[in-house]
Amino acid sequence: MIPAQNSPTGEGAPPRFRLLSALSYCAPLLVNGIVLPFFPVWLAGHSFSDHEIGVILAVPMVVRVLVAPVVAMIADRMKERADVLLWSGGLSLLTAVALYWTTTFWPVFIVFTLQGATFAPYVPVVESIVISGVRRWGLDYGSMRVWGSIAFIVSTLVGGQLINRWGGGMVLEVMAFGFIMTVVMAIFCPRIGPTRRRGQPIDLPAATGSGLREPHLLLLLIGVAIQQSSHAVLNAFSSIYWHHLGFSGTEVGLLWSAGVASEVTVFFLSKRLSRRFDAWTLIRFGCAISVCRWILFPMNTGFAGFFLLQCFHGFTYAFVHTGVQRRIVATVQETQESSAQGAYFFYVGMAMALMTLASGYLYASLGVVSYYVMAVVAFSGLGLVIFAYYLQPQRLVSGGKTREAA
């Protein structure tokens, strides 16, 4: 989590900035709470094969990684960054409507890829507006960001109820409603003028200092990207897997919500965790739990067992993400922060996209056994993280011992 910077009282912020910022997070994550768990179910309901589902879900990820940095840079040069949200939400709504007339592979593939491009900048632009509020007026980032995660949970639970009652066809209706809300919040999102930062929120320029050239940081980012990509089969096929086991839409929604709730809990406790554990411990522990999670996932442990495994998401994602952010801060100067965040975004995004593409073929060939492949992927990421730990520069202290930065 990003701590609030020192500021007397936050005076000077536009009226209702906190409320409108929180609602601006809610709108896009309302969409994600439906698309991520239930769009694969909609695809399966239209008789798409497993590898076709993998392709349809993977390509928009690549497009988002490529489009988001470009639009984010354009937004930072505009008089009002929030204006980008209106275009992003409006065009995304059109793609959601277009899906009503697409039921075969190529039309769905093209429309959903376009949706990936048009929706890509929405969350990064909202993020940049909120972080500007943190920097300028000392507002608390977590109190605004957390409502987006809560919206995701509510959306997933409600979506599960609707799909349980009316079937997978409800995905498009709820998706369209979510995009309508993104347009509404684009109108009401705070207008605070252009960014005052010299860097960009997401950018990939060449490194200008030693921090980004540190071999251990580069290897750490690649290792974490590989570990995070092991979530690909979960994201693409877990809902289908659970439906085949006989779980209702409501139960599937609860399972997805459990993962996000555990993630939110870890972020709330991040300051306390940072005092007790160093960054490397958090990262290695999260990677190790990933291996265990995917080994256990193919076993039909019932709803309670899967609920517990979903709660592991707080370790496999939030622990790792928090640790990486701390390592970036410890390794990279503030002037390179945007470049480091951009590199992290790029590596994870590309790894996830490629693994999602592969997951379609894996699941078609191996079924739930593909989770064992994800365990191997997570173990490979853990291996690179451990190697990165021993590559980091160490400073001698009294007695010839070594220590590492947090």
Place 11 in a pLDDT band, splitting at 50, 70 and 90. Answer: low
Q: How far apart are CA 398 and CA 388, in angstroms?
A: 24
Place 75 in a pLDDT band, splitting at 50, 70 and 90. Answer: confident
Identify whether 202 is part of a domain.
Answer: no
What's the chain's average pLDDT? 84
DSSP 245: T
Q: How far apart are CA 382 and CA 376, in angstroms?
A: 10
124 contacts 68 by C-beta, under 8 angstroms: yes
* 227 and 371 in a common domain: yes
Per residue, the 3-state secondary structure of 331-386, as one string, reads HCCHHHHHHHHHHHHHHHHHHHHHHHHHHHHHHHHHHHHHHHHHHHHHHHHHHHHH
Can you tell me whether residue 264 is helix, strand or coil?
A: helix
Q: How far apart are CA 202 and CA 196, in angstroms?
A: 15
* 273 and 371 in a common domain: yes
Domain boundary residue among 169, 194, 219? 194
* 62 and 169 in a common domain: yes
Place 206 in a pLDDT band, splitting at 50, 70 and 90. Answer: very low
Q: Is the pLDDT of residue 317 over 80?
A: yes
Identify whether 135 is part of a domain.
Answer: yes
Identify whether 90 is part of a domain.
Answer: yes
User: Domain range holding 50?
Assistant: 13-194
Lowest mean pLDDT among 37-41, 108-112, 120-124: 120-124
Q: What is the per-residue pLDDT for 207?
A: 37
H/E stretch holding 395 reads strand 395-396
* 386 and 249 in a common domain: yes
Q: Higher confidence at residue 328 or residue 88?
A: 88
65-101 as b/e: b if 16+ CB within 10 A: bebbbebbeebbeeebbbebbbebbebbbebbebbee
| One-letter identity of residue 22 | A
Q: Say which CATH number the domain at 93 has.
A: 1.20.1250.20
- Rounded to two decimals, the pTM is 0.78
Lowest mean pLDDT among 53-62, 79-88, 177-186, 321-330: 321-330
Domain boundary residue among 162, 194, 226? 194
Query: Of all residues in the chain, what percent carry a pLDDT higher than 70?
Result: 85
Place 198 in a pLDDT band, splitting at 50, 70 and 90. Answer: very low
Q: Give the pLDDT confidence of 129-162 residue by residue, as tens digits.
A: 877 777 678 777 667 877 888 898 899 889 888 8
Q: Give the pLDDT confidence of 333-392 residue by residue, as tens digits.
A: 645 555 666 678 788 889 999 999 999 999 999 999 999 999 999 999 999 999 999 988
Domain boundary residue among 194, 216, 238? 194
* 97 and 37 in a common domain: yes
> From residue 16, how far is each of 23, 33, 67, 102, 125 by CA, in Å?
11, 25, 31, 41, 18
Q: What is the per-residue pLDDT for 106?
A: 96
| Sign of the dihedral through C-alpha 349, 352, 354, 357 | negative
